[in-house]
Amino acid sequence: MVVGKWGRALGILAVLVGGLCGSSAGILVRLVENADGWQILFFRSVSFSLTVLLFMIVKDGFGLRRRFLSIGLPGVVVALCLGGAFIAYIISLLLTTVANAVFILSASPFMAALLSRWLLKEQVSVLSWICMTAGLCGVGFMVADGLLSGTVAGSAVALIATAGYAASVVAFRAGKDIDMMPATCLAGVFATLISLALVSDFAIGRNDLIVACLLGAFQIGGQYILITIAARYVPATEITLLMLLEVVAAPIWVWIGVGEVPALLTMIGGAIVLGAVAVQAMAGLKTDRAANAP
**Each residue's pLDDT tens digit, 114-155:** 999 888 888 888 999 999 999 999 998 888 876 666 678 888
The per-residue pLDDT for 45 is: 95
**Each residue's pLDDT tens digit, 201-236:** 889 999 999 999 999 999 999 999 999 999 999 999
Residues 6+ apart with CB under 8 A from 36: none
The number of beta carbons lying within 10 Å of the beta carbon of residue 10 is 18
> Given pLDDT bands bounded at 50, 70 and 90, which one contains residue 1?
very low
Q: Using DSSP, how many helices (H) and how many strands (E) does the chain show?
A: 16, 0
Please check the confidence at residue 104 and state whether its pLDDT lies above 60: yes
Residues 6+ apart with CB under 8 A from 264: none
Do residues 5 and 292 lie in contact, with contact meaning Cβ atoms separated by under 8 Å?
A: yes
> If you average pLDDT over each of 26-35, 42-51, 240-249, 283-292, which comes out highest?
42-51
First-last CA distance in the chain: 15
The per-residue pLDDT for 73 is: 93
Do residues 182 and 125 lie in contact, with contact meaning Cβ atoms separated by under 8 Å?
A: no
DSSP-derived 3-state class of residue 173:
helix
